[in-house]
Structure 1
């Protein structure tokens, strides 16, 4: 077992990303039951909803699971208190300063992992005492780094400077990409888009179908003047792209974004007017399958490719 498997007490070093509107208790418990680490995405939940999902996840699996906690969320204090009260074993923090909550969470015996997209924030998170880092490359769906550093560049960059375990994220949906990340220095992988189309994902079926129809080039990093986010192309994304091309300022983009656009698209299924967050790897996804099947296919291919590389005769 490597450090990630030991840290989380999981069989496979495969983590399901905490995706808003996709990662409820059904998906999280299914991934954990299969031997990975399932994550409840708290970013789309009011405090009472988060408590309900944690309790249902505990009822569905006795294995470890985590909560993803965006630190800029307005109900952050209530979320933290619920996580402590419900004795959630692992928290993945993102979108904010890890200095604010890491010590409090760890004082209650909670393992803390922080999501970063560059070396600067990885070093800061390590200094603040987090237990591991998720290094998320430019390929990833959802909110992303302004630097646009790809996973291939980001992982070895962090490995040279970081001594705590690194979990690679962005563009990973098969065993080959997992093996590549391990070769670069990662000890685990976080998978988002592939689990977004799992049977247990809480994403709307229309959104899942839109993902499966995606081709190469159908996603784009947008809204860099606000919080960068990778979006699947639709009418809403085209309006955003047009506004950005015309030099729209932050206030104009905020008005265009409005409220609850992600919920409208990803959870309610309005694939024209909603915000559809998904990664570049969506172009490789072809069907809706159970979370366990997705996880095991990645792991088995990882082992097969590891043997293939070992047996290469390169002279």
Structure 2
């Protein structure tokens, strides 16, 4: 299945395991890489010394390429980037910020750089800064999202029309048939998050994984657009946000309700009542928790079957 994404990262299948906060530790990233895809450590939920530990453990657990996802809105960014260079990580996915800030710095140090965007405008800006590839993530995705609410099946062909570097589709992809659909629309590969949350190797709390498996259509919704749009499973905390909206709150009032460490409380510590439970709409298609290797195997089988079925149309 070799293509531009496989060649760029030296992987067997054009699939990236998303570097999600509180879910993507070294166990998930190494298991993904050992399965023939690109595993990513999610630095967004890690202090610099914790990130270094995860990188070292990932190196010991896999001989295959892996990378680090760095949301640029977090503090200690210089220290995080220095650790990535010191530990000889060769692939970095940046998100939640201006790619111009770090792309040249990383590439000068021999690192492959990919930036995550939610619109054609930002895809072109990322390309102009010299990134090696772009992840275009649709409105269906879990966690923090774009303000334009463009869906994946609309976003991918619009970005493809104007991009000349490799394009990775994200948002609402958990099956081989969805992978094929986005590649037919122009993507060179896919980034998958929510499906890997419900894996044995994910660092998410078991209670959160079970809620993801139980989620149905309509159980997630985008909220907190005044701060940073985020897709959450509806729970007490989500309902508290909706009640506050009835009072036409200021961003400061919303921030006060959000407080600190809500995502950690929900996804990592398993507080299903007061925690922030970030997951994509595609959780409605996730029905079990299983090893990463089995998830990847199933996706590839579905992908090949979908290709055969298309030829009969």
TM-score w.r.t. the length of structure 2 is: 0.99
For the residue of structure 1 that corresponds to 2:208, the secondary structure is helix
2:22 matched residue in structure 1: 21
Deviations 1:35-82 (A, max 9, x none): 000000000000000000000000000100010000111010000000
How many angstroms apart in 2 are the aligned matches of 1:203 and 1:240?
Answer: 23
* Counterparts of 2:247 and 2:159, CA distance in 1: 36
Q: Does 1:63 align with 2:64?
A: yes
What is the alpha-carbon distance in structure 1 between the residues aligned to residue 245 and residue 8 of structure 2? 43
- SS in structure 1 at match of 2:196: helix
Is 1:118 equivalent to 2:116 in the alignment?
no
Q: Which stretches in structure 2 are left out of the alignment for 5+ residues?
A: none
CA distance in 2, matches of 1:300, 1:245: 47
Flag as ranges the 4+ runs of structure 1 deviating above 2 A.
none
Pair 1:301 & 2:305 matched: no
After TM superposition, the structure 1 = structure 2 runs for residues 41-60 of structure 1, keeping only pairs within 5 Å, are 41-60=42-61
The equivalent residue for 1:80 is: 81
Distance 1:25 1:178 in 2: 25
Q: CA deviation at 1:242?
A: 1.9
SS in 2 for 1:99: helix
CA positional deviation for 1:246: 2.9
Partners of 2:183 and 2:170 in 1: CA distance: 11
* 1:146-200 C-alpha deviation (Å, 9 max, x unpaired): 1000001000000000111110000000011001000110010000000001000
Q: Secondary structure, in 3 states, of the residue corresponding to 1:168? A: strand
Partners of 1:286 and 1:172 in 2: how far apart? 14
2:257 is aligned to 256
SS of 1:32's partner is helix
How far did residue 304 of structure 1 move? 0.9
Q: What is the alpha-carbon distance in structure 1 between the residues aligned to residue 245 and residue 161 of structure 2?
A: 36
Q: After TM superposition, give the deviation of residue 245 of structure 1 in Å.
A: 3.5
**Structure 1 Cα separation of the partners of residues 149 and 247 of structure 2:** 21
Write the distance in 1 (CA, Å) between the matches of 2:239 and 2:221. Answer: 10
Shift of 1:290: 0.1
Q: Secondary structure in 2 aligned to 1:139?
A: coil
Q: Partners in 1 of 2:246 and 2:156 — Cα distance? A: 32
Q: What number of residue pairs does the alignment pair up? A: 312
Tell me the TM-score normalised to structure 1 length. 0.98
| SS of residue matched to 1:287 | coil
With 240-249 and 50-59 compared, the bigger mean Cα shift is at: 240-249
Q: Distance in 2 between matches of 1:185 and 1:102?
A: 24
Cα drift, residue 116 of structure 1: 0.2
Q: 1:284: how far off?
A: 0.9
Distance apart, 1:299 and its partner CA: 1.0
Which region of structure 1 is more displaced relative to structure 2, 16-25 or 238-247? 238-247
User: Could you say which residue in structure 1 is the equivalent of 2:215?
Assistant: 214
Shift of 1:308: 1.2
C-alpha displacement at 1:89, in angstroms?
1.1
| Deviation of 1:244 (Å) | 2.3
Question: Residue in 2 aligned with 1:4?
Answer: 5
Work out the CA distance in 1 between the residues paired with 2:243 and 2:105: 44
Unaligned runs of 5+ in 1: none
